[in-house]
Amino acid sequence: MPLHDVGYRPWRGTRRGSGHAVGVIAATGIRLAWTSRWLRRAVFFAWSPALLFAASFFAFEQAVDEGRLGTMREQAQAGRNLDGVGMLGTVLARTLGTPPPGGTQLDAGEIRHTVWARLLLAFMRAPQAVLLAVVVGLVAPTLISRDLRAKAWLVYFTRPVGRLEYILGKTAILAVLVAAITMLPALALWALGVLVSPSVWVAVATWDLPLKIILASLTLAVPTVLMALAYSSLTAESRIASFAWFATWAACWIAHTTLTTADLVAAAEVARVSQEEAAQEGFFADEPFGEFTTPPDQSRRPRVRGFRWLSRAAGLDPEIDRWAWISPYHALGVVQAWIFGIETRWHAVLPPLVSLLVVTTVSALVLWRRVDAPARA
């Protein structure tokens, strides 16, 4: 009777590096996540607002090409809305009607760069960031909690896959979704704006905006992805992780709104008590946070009541949001406005920036500690 070797057979293939393990984990996670119809619909809707913003780019560039920039500036400074520049005419009116720093008049290139930056920021803040929070809340909670529930760590960490490769693979899944929802549509919007412009020199005047789009997308992706994965690593129930994610965003948003509303009420009370004195000195208090400002002519300010949310998203609110550090959404908005060069006051950027750095650091430490906790138990 012949004898057969029933022992382990030696591996005769070519071993691949740890980067291949990261790619396999990421590709598998993306393929499983893409089976969700809700995710495919969300990615589709993430690209649809670009058409509205592209129309505004086209209308603005047409007005510049026809030599109507001076007329538009006069209309904006007179407090009138801009007709014929799309739904974002109010935002453009506020941009053109804002007195330049130092009293110097901006040339056409600087105005174009400012308008494009504000429109791109509004695009990334208003529809894209909100949609991203929803998508991450649907996908991220299952990435690690599902492995904990199915004891998949027995497969991962008994093979030559370390914590770093595992975390990078899971992070890459969400990074691809972030790019598909925020960065790629914004880059496509910039390219579409260049294509619909009468002159290709627009690309030269706005060459730095794609770099700022990438940097703003990374700023949005890093804290949100790490926080979502940290929640997923804390429990084997994806429903609990999903609830914690949405509860964090909702609770922080409500806290921010409550505190800013309280400041608004306090400012209104101060304005009511000293109404006659404030009127004599030319002050007004119709903005939140109780900080008085002296406008050139209050009656000539462009009306933005119907587009107040878009005005704030585009960085047109001159007041400092001193409670932005409490809410991840508002903190990200301030930092992104700083990246686009719209918010230049360092004392307004520092608290939200520190808040995001703290969230990122704590989330990374929790994720690093918890991701292989069952294997170390």
DSSP 164-187: HHHHHHHHHHHHHHHIIIIIHHHH
Res 114: pLDDT: 79
Residue 220's identity, in one-letter code, is L
Is position 129 within any domain? yes
CB 312 within 8 A of CB 320: no
Domain limits for position 48: 18-376
Nearest to 121 by CA among 374, 351, 332, 354: 332
Is position 216 within any domain? yes
Res 102: pLDDT: 47
User: How far apart are the C-alpha atoms of 157 and 166, rounded to whole Å?
Assistant: 9
Nearest to 321 by CA among 261, 232, 376, 361: 261
How many domains is the chain partitioned into structurally? 1
Enumerate residue ranges in the chain where pLDDT < 70.
Answer: 1-11, 13, 15-19, 66-109, 153-160, 270-271, 273-318, 373-377
Is position 175 within any domain? yes
Res 285: pLDDT: 45
Contacts of 192-198 with CB under 8 Å at 24 or more apart are 192/50, 192/54, 192/57, 193/54, 193/57, 193/58, 193/61, 193/116, 196/54, 196/57, 196/58, 196/61, 197/57, 197/58, 197/61, 197/65, 198/61, 198/62, 198/65
Is position 8 within any domain? no
> Residue 15 is inside which H or E element, if any?
none
Beta bridge partners of 293: 284
Is position 6 within any domain? no
Residue 125 burial by Cβ neighbours in a 10 Å radius (0-12, 13-18, 19+): buried
Is position 107 within any domain? yes
Non-local (6+) Cβ contacts of 1 within 8 A are none
Phi and psi at residue 373, in whole multiples of 5°?
Answer: -60, -40
Q: What is the DSSP letter of 162?
A: -
Is position 12 within any domain? no
| Residue-level length of the chain | 377
Res 82: pLDDT: 53
Is position 96 within any domain? yes
CB 224 within 8 A of CB 136: yes
The CA-based dihedral angle spanning residues 320, 324, 329, 333, taken in that order and rounded to the nearest 10 degrees: 30
Res 273: pLDDT: 67
